[in-house]
């Protein structure tokens, strides 16, 4: 700058560029001269500034080493997250973004997105969510071959424990873990033996009186608001009564007690279920998020887990006392404890209790009931066929057999509702253990997370004719009726839920009782009841329908009053 000013003072006017007059040159020279005085003042203080600057010490070797290590680790992590390691499954799959992989490509309903991807990449493909590689099964044939065959079933019998669930088990108790969420441990199959004993066909038949009491309570709770308001919001009624049904079946608890059991719960029960959601917990895929304070929803889930454990432990103790004095009613706990009095610890029994009632307490059972209720209220033809099946059942001595009664339209409706709506669209994750899996030339290493896309499996064209249509008759006539009924929503292989007969019998009984006394109309709200378009939250742990309201029309008031006054 100083040189520029000095040179400017010696410039001859004859050398000025064209268009720059003398006055312009003088003004420019004055401006530069004024600025040069300012910089000269600064220059006089330059030695002092340098002295102050040199008084600061250079970073230590330890600091330089630490910073370098952090930078190097970040670069290595970035490289790992943007490349395919040799330990990743070598299956085809969609190309992801750097660092996040396919996390933001899953759409509003991941199960639907994965179904669409399966038509591009094949029935079994891989994807990357953050640092984790996941394999997704999308067809019934592939899932049965890998999860249920003797060649591969043992490899896929464990479950991963997500970060949030692992923390929950430490803070709340291992009692919180359900059979379905448990990794492969020695105690697991003992728990499964307990649960299987409590839901066998013989045991299920002994619970019919408890089921009848529960369905009577459904009708009672529907009758009151129907009389007062005319229009019913079914959500609170079906969620509370599904919980009562689960508790009554497992513990033999009177309906009046069961209905009051969770009235003082501090937070919604679904807070606990959301920790099992394989599509929504970002910290499971991005470890750096664990450095931030935990979300309030997690803290609430811990409170709910401790609360539920306490309630179930109290019910177990009540059952033990009743067994001692022989005043129990037939229930799941009685079926277990009579055969296994001393085999299992209190922790194991509470864990089994959590497993057996979690479906009714959270969302599987109530959401299935709500989907079914909506489609009955929307389609009069289907409702009338179900009602005629109820009338025919009343002429028979025996109650319905979910396995053998293939000619019962209402039972076919129950099966089709479970297939078409699929409230658990992505099954709980599996994890390969013990050894690597080699399948059709592809490599799935040990420790890989595996998901079953139940939504896609129930739309597998080789297994289901017109899978996009709601057709209960498929289980009565046609190719589906001659095969054993698939229960993909209950899982496959060694981790399949054994309660298929009990659950279908419960749902059948609920609608058998409701249709006996009421006809249904849809008042307002969701009217499509399409499995995808009608879903409220596609990324939820359990998919339920959008809001709707119904109207009930009593078929025979005297008959209804007599039923509600009867003590079952």
Contact indicator for 245, 211 with CB cutoff of 8 Å: yes
Do the beta carbons of residue 146 and residue 137 sit within 8 Å?
yes
For residue 470, what are the contacts with CB-CB under 8 A and spacing of at least 6?
375, 382, 416, 420
CA angle 485, 137, 139 (to 5 degrees): 45
Burial (CB count <10 Å: 0-12, 13-18, 19+), residue 396: exposed
State the Cα–Cα distance between residues 63 and 17, nearest whole angstrom: 56
413, 372 in Cβ contact below 8 A? yes
129 in Cβ contact with 102 (< 8 Å): yes
221 and 240 Cβ atoms separated by less than 8 Å = yes
Please calculate the CA angle 217-220-222 and round it to the nearest 5 degrees.
110
Contact residues for 269 (Cβ-Cβ < 8 A; gap 6+): 243, 262, 304, 308, 361, 362
Alpha helices in 362-499 (DSSP H): 364-378, 380-394, 409-421, 454-457
Q: How far is CA 545 from CA 233, 333, 458, 472, in A?
A: 13, 33, 18, 19
Structure-token pair, residue 487: 């229960």
Is 497 known as a binding-site position? yes
Nearest to 551 by CA among 228, 265, 305, 285: 228
∠ CA(127), CA(113), CA(456), 5° rounding?
Answer: 100
Task: Mark the binding-site residues, compressed into ranges.
Answer: 497
Write out the binding residues for heme.
497
């Amino acid at each position: 700058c100083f040189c520029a000013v000095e040179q400017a003072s010696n410039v001859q006017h004859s050398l000025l560029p064209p268009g720059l007059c003398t006055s312009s040159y003088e003004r420019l020279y004055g401006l530069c001269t004024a600025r040069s005085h300012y910089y000269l003042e600064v220059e006089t203080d330059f030695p002092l500034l340098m002295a102050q600057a040199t008084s600061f010490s250079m970073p230590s070797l330890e600091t330089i080493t630490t910073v370098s290590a952090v930078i190097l680790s970040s670069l290595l992590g970035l490289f790992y997250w943007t490349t395919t390691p040799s330990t990743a499954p070598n299956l085809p799959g969609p190309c992801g973004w750097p660092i996040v992989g396919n996390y933001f490509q899953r759409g509003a309903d991941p199960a639907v997105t994965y179904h669409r991807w399966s038509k591009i990449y094949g029935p079994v493909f891989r994807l990357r969510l953050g640092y984790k590689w996941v394999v997704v099964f999308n067809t019934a044939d592939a899932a049965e071959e890998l999860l249920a065959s003797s060649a591969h079933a043992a490899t896929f019998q464990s479950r991963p424990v997500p970060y949030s669930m692992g923390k929950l088990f430490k803070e709340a108790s291992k009692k919180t873990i359900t059979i379905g969420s448990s990794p492969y441990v020695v105690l697991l199959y003992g728990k499964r033996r307990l649960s299987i004993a409590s839901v066998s066909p013989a045991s299920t038949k002994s619970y019919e009186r408890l089921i009848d009491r529960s369905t009577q309570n459904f009708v009672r709770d529907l009758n009151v608001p129907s009389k007062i308001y005319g229009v019913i919001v079914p959500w609170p009624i079906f969620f509370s009564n599904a919980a009562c049904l689960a508790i009554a079946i497992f513990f033999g608890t009177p309906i009046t007690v069961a209905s009051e059991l969770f009235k003082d719960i501090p937070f919604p029960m679904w807070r606990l279920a959301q920790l099992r959601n394989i599509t929504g917990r970002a910290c499971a895929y991005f470890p750096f998020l664990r450095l931030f304070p935990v979300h309030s929803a997690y803290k609430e889930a811990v409170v709910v887990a401790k609360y539920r454990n306490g309630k179930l432990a109290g019910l177990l103790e009540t059952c033990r006392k009743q067994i001692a004095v022989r005043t129990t009613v037939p229930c799941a706990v009685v079926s277990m404890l009579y055969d296994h009095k001393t085999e299992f610890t209190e922790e194991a029994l509470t864990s089994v209790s959590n497993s057996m009632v979690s479906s009714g307490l959270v969302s599987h059972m109530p959401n299935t009931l709500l989907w079914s209720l909506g489609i009955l209220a929307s389609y009069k033809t289907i409702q009338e066929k179900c009602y005629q099946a109820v009338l025919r059942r009343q002429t028979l001595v025996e109650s319905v057999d979910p396995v053998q009664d293939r000619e019962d339209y209402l039972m076919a409706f129950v099966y089709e509702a479970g297939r078409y709506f699929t409230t658990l669209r992505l099954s709980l994750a599996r994890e390969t253990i013990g050894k690597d899996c080699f399948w059709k030339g592809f490599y799935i290493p040990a420790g890989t997370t595996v998901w079953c896309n139940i939504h896609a499996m129930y739309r597998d064209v080789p297994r289901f004719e017109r899978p996009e249509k709601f057709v209960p008759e498929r289980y009565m006539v046609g190719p589906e009726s001659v095969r054993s009924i698939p229960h993909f929503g209950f899982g496959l292989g060694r981790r399949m839920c054994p309660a298929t007969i009990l659950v279908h019998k419960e749902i059948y009984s609920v609608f058998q009782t409701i249709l006996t006394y009421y006809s249904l109309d849809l008042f307002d709200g969701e009217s499509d009841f399409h499995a995808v378009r009608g879903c409220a939250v596609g990324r939820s742990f359990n998919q339920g329908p959008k809001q709707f309201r119904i109207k009930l029309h009593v078929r025979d008031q005297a008959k209804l009053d007599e039923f509600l006054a009867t003590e079952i």
